[in-house]
Homo-oligomer: A and B are copies of this chain.
Amino acid sequence: MKLDSTPDDVVPGLLVGAGAGTRVPTPPLRGRVTMQQVAAEAGVSISTVSKVINGRYGVSTETVDHVTRVIDRLGYEASLVARSLRNRRTNVVGVLVMDFEPFSTEVLKGVADAVHGTGYELIAYSAGGHEEAREGWERRSLTRLMATLVDGAVLVTPTVTDVQADGPVVAVDPQAGPSALPAVAAHNLQGARLGVEHLIELGHTRIGMITGRSDLMSAQQREQGYREAMAAAGLCVDQALVRSGGFEPGLSRVAARELLSGTDRPTAVFAANDLSALAVLEVARDLGIDVPGQLSVVGFDNIPESVLAEPSLTTVQQPIRRMGQEAAEMLLALIAGEDVHDLDRTLDTSLVLRSSTAPPVQVR
């Protein structure tokens, strides 16, 4: 009978209008129902409730029934947090990201694919996104969640990979040299070559590049691929045509504007990622430069947005979603204690032809 008399704790949340004064189901008392309350309502001890929930032996059939009914009525569900804290095993895998942007969410979909039907739950965590928390977010996130909320984690695009965690960790697209972690990455160098070779085959010779964040391995490899393709075709790289866009829209717009405003602008631009390529498209439009008529643009990543762009973007596709899948499969195997053979996987990239590239105009 103590259930109806709890005037001490004011409800901070919203009260639903639905009058519940009607039949049986004791108006699911508001807010967090704890095992405590279930026990009280059922007139048994907390531990008995726990046993019922976890299907432990040593509870009479009728007690089980009764408690189960109370649980249903109250809409009780064990707190993930409390349970995690207590148990070593949580049955949850985590995807740790710096931010939720196109790349990481695509990886997330892949991880979800692989986790489906395994009985694991999935948690994606971002410490908040911007700048401040940049340095070492992967270490912090890992420490904060691992072994206390998740059984294992997929690290998306980590800058630091010499992390130490007491559970399995797999990196996707690691950015710090030969990783100390099991990892899944795309073949950046090959991809960049593909993209630039496409432009060269179209007849372009003045090809500029918006590079990525110089401290990241993928950025370096893509730039190297660009240089290799140019060199292989006997074309020289005009340093004035290489600008950094830092893998992000803001800087990329600035870089693109510099690149396209000059008198002797390139006829084609290879961007280190789609976000940068989209920025180029935007700037070109501002400047009245027709794409692909007067300027060809090739991106890298093939994020969903790239196809929605106007014109749709020719880009180098990374099998992002697949990367997430493979990472998750590795992770689950590692959690299961199986020994995984190929701890460092590199997936092939491919060129996706769309509408942002064309042969250069024959000017004079």
- A residues contacting B by CB (< 8 A) are 11-14, 16-18, 28, 30-33, 75-82, 84-85, 88, 99-102, 105-106, 108-109, 111-112, 115-130, 139-140, 143-149, 162, 164-169, 180-182, 304-305, 307-308, 312
How many copies make up the complex?
2
Residue in B28, B33, B109 whose beta carbon sits within 8 Å of that of A100 in the complex: B109
Judge whether A124 and B121 touch: CB under 8 Å: no
Are A31 and B147 interface neighbours, CB within 8 A?
A: yes
Inter-chain CA distance A277–B121, complex, in Å, is 29
User: Beyond A85-B82, A149-B81, is A164–B130 a contact (Cβ under 8 Å)?
Assistant: no
Distance of A115 from chain B, by nearest CB (Å): 7
Residues of B within 8 A of A144 (CB): 77-80
Given A120-B128, A164-B30, check contact A81 B84 (CB 8 Å). yes
For the complex, give the distance between the alpha carbons of A307 and B102 in Å: 14
**Of B28, B101, B166, B304, which contacts A308 at CB under 8 A?**
B304
**Cβ distance A111 to chain B, nearest Cβ, rounded Å:** 8
Residues of the B chain whose Cβ atoms lie less than 8 Å from the Cβ of A168:
13-14
In the assembled complex, the CB of A50 is this many whole angstroms from the nearest CB of chain B, namely 16
| Complex contact A82–B125 (CB within 8 A) | no
Residues of B within 8 A of A146 (CB): 32
Complex Cα–Cα for A324 and B31 (A):
24
**Contact in complex: A32, B166 (CB < 8 Å):** yes
- Cα A76 to Cα B148 in complex, Å, equals 14
How far does the Cβ of A311 sit from chain B's closest Cβ, in whole Å? 11
Q: How far is the CB of A34 from chain B (nearest CB, A)?
A: 9
Given the complex of chains A and B, what is the CA–CA distance between A307 and B79 in angstroms? 41
Residues of B within 8 A of A12 (CB): 88, 166-167
Task: Judge whether A127 and B123 touch: CB under 8 Å.
Answer: no
Closest beta carbon of chain B to A241's beta carbon, Å: 31
Q: Are the C-beta atoms of A81 and B148 separated by less than 8 Å?
A: yes
Bound: A165/B304 CA distance, A: 35
How close is A85's CB to chain B, nearest CB, in angstroms? 5
Q: Which of B116, B128, B145 contacts A122 (CB 8 A)?
A: B128
Contact present for B99 and A16 (CB under 8 Å): no
- CA A300 – CA B152 in complex, angstroms? 36
Residues of the B chain whose Cβ atoms lie less than 8 Å from the Cβ of A139? 75, 77
| 21 A-B pairs whose Cβ atoms sit less than 8 Å apart in the complex | A14-B169, A16-B164, A18-B162, A30-B164, A30-B166, A31-B165, A31-B166, A77-B140, A79-B143, A80-B145, A99-B116, A100-B112, A100-B124, A102-B304, A108-B124, A112-B126, A117-B130, A122-B125, A122-B128, A123-B125, A307-B307
Decide: A13 and B82 in contact? CB cutoff 8 A: no
Q: Which residues of B contact A77 (CB under 8 A)?
A: 139-140, 143-144
Of listed A81, A143, A166, residue having the most chain B CB within 10 A? A81
